[in-house]
Amino acid sequence: MRLLVIILFALPVAAQQYLTGNIEYIRGFRSTVLSNSRDIIIYLPPDYYRSNAQYPVFYMHDGQNLFDGNTSFIRGQEWRVDETAEQLISGGEIEPIIIVGVYNAGSQRIYEYTPTVDETFQAGGGGDLYGKFLVEELKPYIDSKYRTLKAAEHTALGGSSLGGLITIYLGLKYPQVFGKLAVMSPSVWWNSRYILGYVNSSAKVNCKIWEDVGTSEGSDFTTKQMVKLDARKLRDALIKKGWELGKDLVYFEAKRAQHNEAAWAARMPEVLKYLFPKK
């Protein structure tokens, strides 16, 4: 039996400056599938404690980078997802949502966020197990502890870089679980662009997809590769399978945006408005 403890506490003054709204933690969530543990950070909408409503859920990778500059990859640089969600919900621009930030597993991040082994790096390939963890362990727990709308049409998955790669992979693998995807700056290059073949061999599923890339991600050479050879080819593969631009697919190239938290933070308002529009 997995023993979990939800910890609610007042953060030290130094940490409070980064957190906005109703934030809860699940410390040391144990995965039997992956044989490891990680923290989960959860944003609840402004009226959560005052209502009996059920809410859509947005599961996001790299949870330590989303809300708190004290835990982000580069200290002080976070996605500001809590501030953005709070502002959009309060302004009536999106429906109230729960956001579940799944911390990455540190040295195991590459393994968990990739669907195959890349022989060049001699790494990766744990994406199926990570997906099983999300679908069979984490989501059932979140659904049991919070007032969630459980159907795929109300459940999103999202991330950037390798997090974007594993998002499109798991979204196509589990369309009965995730009906909305945020594929941001995806690492299409992984394992000789394996994901393009995977999309080509997959069936069209009922899923809304946001895909984006910054036009200044990397050096001159890698920028051209990420935009022209990677992001646009993934977009084209999705269109070929039946997704329609402006309907169930958005593709966005952010001018002069780099591959970092600040760039992804800047795009979050539009991501949330597309995935969770006010009904």
Which domains are delineated in the chain? 5-275 (3.40.50.1820)
Q: Residue 225's pLDDT is what? A: 81
- What is the rounded distance in angstroms from the CA atom of residue 125 to the CA atom of residue 142? 26
Going residue by residue through the chain, which has 279 residues, state the pLDDT in tens, using 9 for 90 and above. 333 433 444 444 344 478 999 999 999 999 999 999 999 999 999 999 999 999 999 999 999 999 998 988 878 889 999 999 999 999 999 999 999 999 999 999 999 999 999 999 999 999 999 999 999 999 999 999 999 999 999 999 999 999 999 999 999 999 999 999 999 999 999 999 999 999 999 999 999 999 999 999 976 656 668 788 899 999 999 999 999 999 999 999 999 999 999 999 999 999 999 999 998
Number of H helices, E strands in the chain: 10, 11
Q: At what angle do helices 190-201 and 162-173 cross, to 10 degrees?
A: 20
Q: Residue with structure tokens 């919070």?
A: 146
Whole-model pTM: value is 0.92
- What is the rounded distance in angstroms from the CA atom of residue 131 to the CA atom of residue 123? 17
- DSSP string of 1-15? ----EEE--PPPHHH
